[in-house]
Structure 1
Amino acid sequence: MTLLRRTRTGVLHLHFGVRAGRTVLLRDLQKAPLMIVRPFELPCGTLMVFIVNPMGGVLGGDHSEVRVRVEGGARALVLTQSATRVQPSPDRAAATQDVTLEVAPGGRLEFYPERTIPFAGSAFRQTVLAELGEGAELGLTETLAGGRVRSGESLAFHEYASRMEVRRGGRRVYLDALRLCPGEHTRSPGVWGGGDYLASGVWVGAPQVTDWPAVPGQLATGQAAGGAAWLRAVADCGPGLDAALGAARESLRRQLFGAPPLRVRR
């Protein structure tokens, strides 16, 4: 897809560092429709920002570019203010998003966006690439709804594709590629099952996980060949998935980062 076909191109670049012993936002580049709410410091010292898209959704042909850089010693938490609603695309042109995360040795970045909701007839493709220095810490999740489920649009989108890769010290430690084009086999076991909501995640830290979170039939965790902790979850309702994902996330954060629970007020 060329830039000439893109309806909107949003750009957001964030650079976090440490000044006087505190994490601060050193630089931000914003191009509508992407922007941030001013940073908030959490009681634990982590600096939190919300990504905002005031347009209420993304259209076929729209493109978003998000880059986050975290210096050594800094602690950053990046959230989105609301779900990403992918609007119908009559010509099947996909909305696209590229996310690049860079964390220096001794830094920590957590990126937990709200769920993506692909409307009937929509298409969405994204890539997420995280480059970590040795000793850097990362938490990253992705949550997907099958569509506007309560409106009867479950699995009515054209395409959803996401590629998530994490590299540490130049070596790949995690790779997850997902492409869904709903059809007659979408509900087969191992693809989507009977659920309407999916979640995945990856965490990279120094200590080893000894207590792996799990919810039979709903959520599983494990260790990738590269040493990263991974998570997979499926549920038939959004709040149930969010609760299971939140509990597992806090367990992994505590074990890998030695971090206290996140106390976020929206």
Structure 2
Amino acid sequence: MSLLRRTRTGLLHLHFGTRDGRTVLLRDLQKAPLMIVRPFELPCGTLMVFMVNPTGGVLGGDHSEVRVTVDGAARVLILTQSATRVQPSPEGEAATQDIHLTVAAGARLEFYPERTLPFAGSVFRQHVRAELEEGAELGLTETLASGRVGMGERLRFGEYTSRVEVWREGRRVYLDALRLRPGEHTRTPGVWGAHDYAASGVWVGNGGVRDWPAVPGLLATGRSAGGAVWLRASAGQGPELDAALNAARESLRGQLFGAAPLRVRR
């Protein structure tokens, strides 16, 4: 097997619960290159965990498996320390990622990774599935760059595929299936138009939404037929997208979860 064909399988299994009214990490399984920085309790009582891949990125043929279980009454926030850099795949092999989230009644899980940055010639496929009991709360976002824009690699990746499903009590309440395979035309009307950064998100909570976040030409929100709240956004610049996404996220968290704004130090 050549060095170009060597593959890695990273595992990260996390199980959260409560002890004496505080959220704690009960069990964890970590296999390089996936690992976590030790949990930190935020002032609001939420337990924050940074998911880390200390290598230079994911390579063609690599596979990541993430399993997160949150027991009732626990409050968990999972972030990533940096962008996911998907390296070129000279032989066309896909880097794959499988994420499975299980949230019990009365628990809350929020997963807000940094953006995915696909290099020219890369292939990336992921599947995210969240299973919620009635009364569970979930927040999930996904952000994507069109490539290393500053390096002239706009829409030069081979493929980006992402399927996100949210199930509640055995019923699917949200489905987002995205498959991008850029061709020779990189500035044509379509999903992004002339924008270089895109985001999507889904929230399931026990509150209602009266003030729907929206920025004309940049960000929109709505409700799925199953009752989940969705978000779509795209922008020409990364900081512009991040600012709109963060503002919308905090608005929806406050309305759906009754949660105070996140105060995260990186």
Deviations 1:112-165 (A, max 9, x none): 000000000000000000000000000000000000011110100000000000
1:137 match: 137
Q: Note the 1:1-40 alignment, pairs <5 A.
A: 7-40=7-40
Specify the alignment match of 1:189 in structure 2.
189
Contact 1:132 1:169 in 2 (8 A): yes
Give the whole-Å Cα distance in 2 for the aligned partners of 1:246 and 1:188.
28
3-state SS of paired residue (1:39): strand
Say how many residue pairs are matched. Answer: 262
Task: Provide the identity percentage.
Answer: 80
Shift of 1:192: 1.5
Q: Which residue of 2 aligns with 1:73?
A: 73
Q: Is the contact made by 1:6 and 1:63 (CA closer than 8 Å) also made in structure 2?
A: no
| Change over 3 Å in CA distance of 1:185–1:153 after alignment to 2 | closer
Q: Per-residue CA shift, 1:175-219, capped at 9, x if unaligned? A: 000000002566443422110001000000011111000010000
The letter of the residue matching 1:65 is E
Which amino acid in 2 is paired with 1:152?
Answer: G
Contact 2:154–2:186, Cα closer than 8 Å, also in 1: no
Query: Mapping of 1:107-146 within 5 angstroms?
Result: 107-146=107-146
Q: 1:190 to 1:15 in 2, by over 3 A?
A: same
Structure 1: runs of 5 or more not aligned: none
Q: Which residue of 2 aligns with 1:106?
A: 106
Alpha-carbon distance in 2 for matches of 1:260, 1:91: 47
TM norm structure 2: 0.97
| CA distance, structure 2, for counterparts of residue 56 and residue 81 of structure 1 | 13
CA distance in 1, matches of 2:169, 2:6: 35
Partner of residue 164, structure 2: 164
- Corresponding position of 2:155: 155
Partners of 1:18 and 1:220 in 2: CA distance? 36
Contact 2:132/2:169 (8 A) holds in 1: yes
- Aligned positions of 1:242-261 closer than 5 A: 242-261=242-261
Change (3 A) 1:68 1:6: farther
Give, in whole Å, the separation in 1 of the partners of 2:23 and 2:95: 33
Q: How many Å separate the matches in 2 of 1:106 and 1:185? A: 48
Q: TM-score, normalised by structure 1?
A: 0.97
Name structure 2 gaps, 5 residues minimum.
Answer: none
